[in-house]
Amino acid sequence: MFSNGRARSGIIVLPCGAGKTLTGITAACTLRKSVMILTTSAVAVDQWRKQFEEYTTIDSSRLLTLTAETKQTLWPVDEAGVLVSTYTMLAFSGRRSLAAERIMQQIREREWGLLIFDEVQFAPAPAFRRINDLVKSHCRLGLTATLVREDDLIKDLQWLIGPKLFEANWIELQDQGFLARVSCQEVWCPMTADFYREYLRCSHAKQRKLWVCNPTKLMTCEWLLRYHEARGDKILVFSDNVFALLHTAKALNRPFIYGQVSAVERVAILNKFKHESTFNSLFLSKVGDNAIDIPCANVVIQISFNFASRRQEAQRLGRILRAKPQAGDEGENFNAFFYSLISKDTLEMVYADKRQQFIIDQGYAYKVIHSRDLPMQPDKLIYGDPQRQREILTDILASDDNDKTLDDDEDDPSRQVLSAVAGDRGRFFRVNSNLGDGWGGSEECQLESFGESLRGFGDAPHVQPLQGGLGRLAGDGGSAYGARPGGRGGGRSGRSGGADATSMHPLFRGLHGKK
């Protein structure tokens, strides 16, 4: 970026956890001019602010944030400072509050030394292109781990920001110990007879709902969650589909974050997950895909995803790429695990193949595991109950085919609702709803506060209460799950197969026979 005494505009591509934030901070300190940083969410804004406080000596009066909740008047024009905001805050073109409009006028009137685009793949979105006209900056720096989009707009970054200045090799950083050693697993989950019978004869909209809520997939998620909690791991469970997210999280008594959880609650929940040893699992919608710093997480379980998005697959893998201690069990070569649960013999397998191409291009390989090879005992799992499975199937068949989307959360901030910028904080309330509403038929059913959704967790005998009314399921031992797995696993492009489940899945070494 810096050569011949000049600062060049351009893009730096680093894997998640490799130090993109510190790269931006270093650039800001080197220029010693006023800096504006744009990121995707209020949570990410708070993370940037904390990193500046930790790694620089900047005065707090010169480190400001601009979000829907915080609006601070800028420092004098003849001085330098740092302003951290979101894409949506600057790109909003509607009516603003007086405080927000006054700050925006200050932003437009002054010259900025550096404009940093965090998660720069969002910058080419039509809603955000006007930012370059609003902010007069001498130098622009884009930071990302995934320089990919599913449209053709990524090439516009060449003239919006600048050329690619540097791109790191993921495998080299892993071998040097700067990234975790991740085992990527694709778990094939056959659909139950009732679900597959309906899958073959129903509409495409219902087919999507059926492969997301496949009981075998939900049982596999439940088993993996309990298994890794018993190991003391930190687990993130991702589901784009809000119904599947809420249904599974509540059934398993686990905390969750999705679009309608406020920024304050998100920060509180993430802090508990990072720092409390009894808070070991967290369910996330696609709002957790980008710009969330969770260095302690070492397991990702993905039960629902956004079609064939390569970027989303890489971002979710990136949640567990932060460098970690060496593998604990003797013989293990991995210290992080990424599971993508796929409904077998459905269109979801086609999307999964396309999603994995970016990660495969970085040098990773996916191993295939069949859910039947896992030592699950369905009668001991919540989603092994036939009555619960029939209830889910009935709700899916009764849902509306005209749903516009399977979820209410947007991973692309250019499509997020911007009413909060104008001062509308929104109200969260609980209403009676059905599965059809949860798939997008009714927005009201999705407006539910996190605090209320977890109220009463401490009343269950198998839950350990935590401060603030949060709770988690007490860890279940691994010895109750039967014999160690066997059998064969097939392979496809970018995967390895042909070995028994134990050899292809080092995680299971030592599952039994250890005290």
Report the pLDDT value the prediction gives residue 434, as an integer from 0 to 100: 39
Q: Which residue has the tokens 């040097």?
A: 176
Element (H, E) at 201: helix 193-201
Same-domain status, 192 and 162:
no
Angle formed by the axes of helices 20-31 and 42-55, nearest 10°: 60
CB 161 within 8 A of CB 11: yes
Q: Which residues contact 343 (CB under 8 A, 6 or more apart)?
A: 189, 190, 191, 210, 211, 212, 214, 216, 217, 349
Decide if 436 is inside a domain. Answer: no
Angle (CA) 146-186-496 rounded to 5° is 95
pLDDT on residue 486: 39
The pLDDT, as a whole number, for residue 288 is 85
Total domains, the chain = 2
Over the stretch 438-472, which tens digit does the pLDDT of each residue have?
Answer: 333 333 333 333 333 333 333 333 333 333 333 33
* Residue 290 included in any domain: yes
Exposed (0-12), middle (13-18) or buried (19+): which is 467, by Cβ within 10 Å? exposed
Regarding whether 209 and 80 lie in a shared domain, the answer is no
Residue 2: predicted pLDDT: 84
Q: Which residues touch 43 (CB under 8 Å, ≥6 apart)?
A: 263, 266, 267, 270, 291, 292
Q: What is the DSSP letter of 40?
A: S
Same domain, 164 and 186: no
pLDDT of residue 349: 92
The residue written with tokens 């999603």 in the block is 355
The answer to whether residues 153 and 246 belong to one domain is: no
Q: Please report, for the domain that includes residue 210, its CATH number.
A: 3.40.50.300
Residue with tokens 């990234």: 179
Distances 506 to 142, 334, 503 between C-alpha atoms, Å: 38, 8, 6
Tell me if 233 sits within 8 A of 325, measured CB to CB: no
Q: Are residues 255 and 280 in the same domain?
A: yes
Q: Shortest CA distance to 287 belongs to which of 248, 309, 258?
A: 258
Boundary residue ending a domain (117, 144, 168): 168
CB distance 502 to 374 below 8 Å: no
Domain boundary among 142, 168, 194: 168
Residue 180 and residue 17: Cα distance in Å, rounded? 9
Q: Which residue has the tokens 């697993």?
A: 185
137 shares its domain with 30: yes
Question: pTM above the 0.85 mark?
Answer: no
Separation CA 482–CA 504 (nearest Å): 19
Residue 427 domain-assigned (yes or no): no
> What are the tens digits of pLDDT across the range 68-79?
888 888 999 889
DSSP secondary structure letter of residue 78: T
Residue linked to tokens 């893998």: 317
pLDDT of residue 287: 86
Predicted pLDDT of residue 487:
39
Cα separation, 69 vs 83, whole angstroms = 15
Residues 199 and 102 in one domain: no
Task: With respect to residue 176, please indicate whether it lies within any of the assigned structural domains.
Answer: no
First-last CA distance in the chain: 53
pLDDT value at position 336? 92
212 and 108 together in one domain = no
Same domain (yes/no): 125, 202: no
Paired residues of 35 in beta bridges? 82, 114
Q: Which residue has the tokens 């190991």?
A: 231
Q: For residue 33, is it left (φ>0), alpha (ψ between -120 and 50) or beta?
A: beta
Residues 147 and 187 in one domain: no
- Residues of the domain holding 219: 182-405+477-508
Domain end residue (candidates: 120, 146, 168):
168
Asked whether residue 434 is assigned to any structural domain, the reply reads: no
Residue where the block lists tokens 């014999």: 483
Residue 438 is assigned to a structural domain of this protein:
no
466 is a domain residue: no
List, for the chain, all residue ranges whose pLDDT scores fall below the cut of 50: 328-331, 404-408, 417-493, 495-515
Statement to judge: residues 287 and 391 lie in one domain: yes
HEC string for 382-441: HHHCHHHHHHHHHHHHHCCCCCCCCCCCCCCHHHCCCHHHHCCCCCCCCCCCCHHHHHHH
Residue 326 included in any domain: yes
Q: Residue 409 has what pLDDT?
A: 58
Same domain, 137 and 249: no
Q: In sequence order, what are the residues at sequence separation of 6 or more whose Cβ sits closer than 8 angstroms to the Cβ of residue 318?
A: 15, 16, 17, 145, 146
| 416, amino acid identity | Q
What integer pLDDT is reported at residue 455 of this predicted model?
35
